[in-house]
C-alpha cells in the first residue's frame, strides 16, 4: 500500500521545511539551539499540517538519542512505563528522547508520570499539540518544557511546497505534469495554511487529471473540484472556534461591519449557528448596551428568526444583527457597573438591606427605630425623593457612570435636573 504524498515528501532537514521562519530562519535562537546538539524539553503548539511533527522528527533523528514515538490518542500508561524501563540500559546510553504527538489526549495522571524523568534529564520530551497547551497540559509539565508556537503557513509557503511536490511526483510516477500557475495559486490559497491538506488535494487532483501528449495537465477547475470548502479551519471545540467568536465580538465592538460579517460567515460556514446566536445576544448587552438599548430586543428578534429558519437562511437576520450593532453607538457602562458591584461583594463589602427597603412590616424588640419609613417616590415631584438604597457599608458608592453617548447623556441631563 502506497503511503500518502505528505508522508513520502516529508522534509529530512530543517532547511527543507516550508514556513515557520520565526523559528527556523537563519540566526533564530530555536534553530541555533537545535543545531548545537542540545535538545531541551519542548512542546510544539499549532494547527495541523504546519510542520510540528516534521520538525520534531528531524530533531529526534539527528539527536543521537534512543528515539521512542507515542501518540496521545492511542498511548496508555503502560506504553509510557515501557519507555521508562529503558532508562539506564545500554540502548539508552546517549539518552532517551520521547516524541509524544497529540499530548493533549493524555490524562493528568499519564502526564504526571513523565515529570520525574524530565526533571532529572533521563528522558527528553518533545510533544506536539493542536490545542492550547495552557488549557490542556498539566502545569507542572509545562514548567519543565518550553512552548513554541507553529503558525499556519502562508500561501507562498504552501506554493513552494507544492512546486517541490510536483517535481517529486514526476520522479516517482515517471510522468510529466503541467500545472497551470493559477491552479497552484488556488490550491495554496484554499488549504487554510495546512500543507498536509494541500498535498493531499494535489495528489488527488493529479490522479484525476487528464493526460494528453504524455503529460498530465493540472487545471484550476480540477483544483476547485477537490478543494471545496477546504480552507475552513474550524471546530466547535478547538482554539479556532474561540478565536472566531472572539474576533466577531471585537470587530463589532470596534465598529467594523466588514470584519463582523467576515467572522460571522466563518462561524456559520462551519454550521455553528448556536454559538453565533449566543455571542450576538451578549454583544447587544455588553458592547452596544445603553447607547442604543433598542438593539437588545432587535437582536433577540433576529436570533429568534435565525433559529426558526435554520441554515442557510439564518445567516440573513444574523447579518442584519451584526451590521446593526457594528454601526451602532457603543457603551459598556452597565457592564462596568455590574462588574464593580460584584467586586465589592467578593471583597465582603455588603450589609443588611436598609430597613426602609425591607419586605416586612414588623419591628422586633431590638429595633432602634420603629417603622419602615419608606418614602414612595411617586408621591413626590418628578417621581423622585432622596433616600438611602445601598446598605450602610456602601452608602455613597457609585458603580454606574453615564456613558458619553447621546442616549445616556440625555438621561443624565434629566436626572441632574430632577435631583438638582
The two beta strands, 66-71 and 176-179, are: unpaired
Which three cell numbers mark 279? 455571542
User: Consecutive 10-residue runs of the chain (420 residues): their mean pLDDT?
Assistant: 70 84 87 82 87 86 82 85 81 81 87 83 87 85 89 87 83 78 84 83 80 78 72 56 89 94 90 91 95 95 94 93 95 94 90 80 61 82 89 90 92 89
- Give the separation between CA 331 and CA 183, rounded to whole angstroms: 47
- Give the separation between CA 294 and CA 273, rounded to whole angstroms: 23
Count of CB atoms within 10 A of residue 150's CB? 22
Place of cell 418614602: 375
Q: Determine the distance from the C-alpha atom of residue 268 to the mean position of all C-alpha atoms in its chain, rounded to a whole number.
A: 16
- Give the separation between CA 250 and CA 269, rounded to whole angstroms: 19
- How high is the pLDDT of residue 239? 63
Place of cell 474561540: 242
- How high is the pLDDT of residue 201? 84
Span 110-129, pLDDT tens digits: 888 888 888 877 888 899 88
288 contact partners, CB below 8 Å, separation of at least 6: 295, 296, 325, 328, 329, 330, 331
- How high is the pLDDT of residue 366? 62
**Is 115 within 8 Å of 41 (Cβ atoms)?**
no
Burial of 402 (0-12, 13-18, 19+ CB in 10 A): middle
Span 225-263, pLDDT tens digits: 777 655 555 555 556 778 889 999 999 999 999 999 999
- How high is the pLDDT of residue 232? 55
- Give the separation between CA 101 and CA 169, rounded to whole angstroms: 28
The two beta strands, 123-129 and 42-45, are: parallel
- Domains of the chain (ranges plus CATH)? 20-149 (3.40.50.300), 155-226 (1.10.8.60), 239-326 (1.20.272.10), 356-419 (1.10.3710.10)
- Give the separation between CA 11 and CA 62, rounded to whole angstroms: 13
User: Do you find a cis peptide bond into 62, omega within 30 degrees of 0?
Assistant: no
- How high is the pLDDT of residue 27? 84
Full-model pTM: 0.60
**Is 106 within 8 Å of 139 (Cβ atoms)?**
no
- How high is the pLDDT of residue 78? 85
- Give the separation between CA 277 and CA 300, rounded to whole angstroms: 9
Amino acid at each position: 500500500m502506497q503511503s500518502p504524498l505528505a508522508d513520502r515528501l516529508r522534509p529530512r532537514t530543517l532547511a527543507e521545511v516550508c514556513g515557520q521562519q520565526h523559528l527556523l530562519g537563519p540566526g533564530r535562537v530555536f534553530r541555533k539551539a537545535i543545531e548545537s546538539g542540545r535538545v531541551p524539553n519542548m512542546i510544539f503548539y499549532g494547527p495541523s499540517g504546519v510542520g510540528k511533527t516534521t520538525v520534531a522528527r528531524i530533531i529526534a533523528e539527528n539527536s543521537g538519542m534512543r528515539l521512542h514515538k507515542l501518540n496521545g490518542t492511542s498511548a496508555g500508561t503502560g506504553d509510557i512505563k515501557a519507555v521508562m524501563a529503558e532508562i539506564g540500559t545500554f540502548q539508552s546510553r546517549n539518552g532517551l528522547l520521547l516524541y509524544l504527538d497529540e499530548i493533549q489526549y493524555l490524562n493528568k495522571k499519564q502526564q504526571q508520570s513523565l515529570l520525574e524523568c524530565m526533571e532529572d534529564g533521563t528522558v527528553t520530551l518533545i510533544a506536539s499539540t493542536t490545542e492550547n497547551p495552557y488549557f490542556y497540559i498539566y502545569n507542572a509539565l509545562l514548567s519543565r518544557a518550553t512552548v513554541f508556537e507553529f503558525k499556519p503557513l502562508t500561501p507562498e509557503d504552501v506554493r513552494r511546497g507544492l512546486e517541490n511536490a510536483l517535481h517529486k511526483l514526476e520522479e516517482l510516477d515517471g510522468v510529466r505534469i503541467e500545472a497551470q500557475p493559477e491552479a497552484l495559486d488556488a490550491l495554496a490559497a484554499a488549504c487554510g495554511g495546512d500543507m498536509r491538506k494541500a498535498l493531499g488535494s494535489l495528489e488527488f487532483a493529479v490522479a484525476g487529471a487528464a493526460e494528453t501528449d504524455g503529460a498530465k495537465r493540472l487545471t484550476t477547475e480540477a483544483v476547485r473540484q477537490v478543494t471545496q470548502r477546504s480552507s475552513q479551519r474550524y471546530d466547535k471545540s478547538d482554539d479556532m472556534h474561540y478565536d472566531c467568536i472572539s474576533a466577531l465580538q471585537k470587530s463589532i465592538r470596534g465598529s467594523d461591519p466588514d470584519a463582523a460579517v467576515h467572522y460571522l460567515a466563518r462561524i456559520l460556514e462551519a454550521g455553528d449557528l448556536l454559538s453565533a446566536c449566543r455571542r450576538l445576544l451578549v454583544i447587544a448587552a455588553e458592547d452596544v448596551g445603553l447607547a442604543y438599548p433598542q438593539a437588545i430586543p432587535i437582536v433577540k428578534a433576529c436570533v429568534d428568526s435565525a433559529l426558526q429558519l435554520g441554515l442557510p437562511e439564518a445567516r440573513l437576520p444574523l447579518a442584519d444583527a451584526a451590521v446593526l450593532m457594528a454601526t451602532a453607538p457603543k457603551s459598556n457602562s452597565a457592564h462596568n457597573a455590574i462588574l464593580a458591584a460584584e467586586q465589592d461583594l467578593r471583597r465582603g463589602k455588603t450589609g443588611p438591606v436598609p430597613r426602609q427597603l425591607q419586605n416586612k412590616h414588623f419591628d422586633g424588640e431590638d429595633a432602634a427605630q420603629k417603622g419602615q419609613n419608606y418614602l414612595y417616590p411617586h408621591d413626590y415631584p418628578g417621581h423622585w425623593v432622596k433616600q438611602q438604597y445601598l446598605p450602610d457599608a456602601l452608602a455613597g458608592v457609585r458603580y454606574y457612570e453615564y456613558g458619553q453617548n447621546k442616549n445616556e447623556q440625555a438621561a443624565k441631563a434629566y436626572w441632574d435636573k430632577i435631583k438638582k
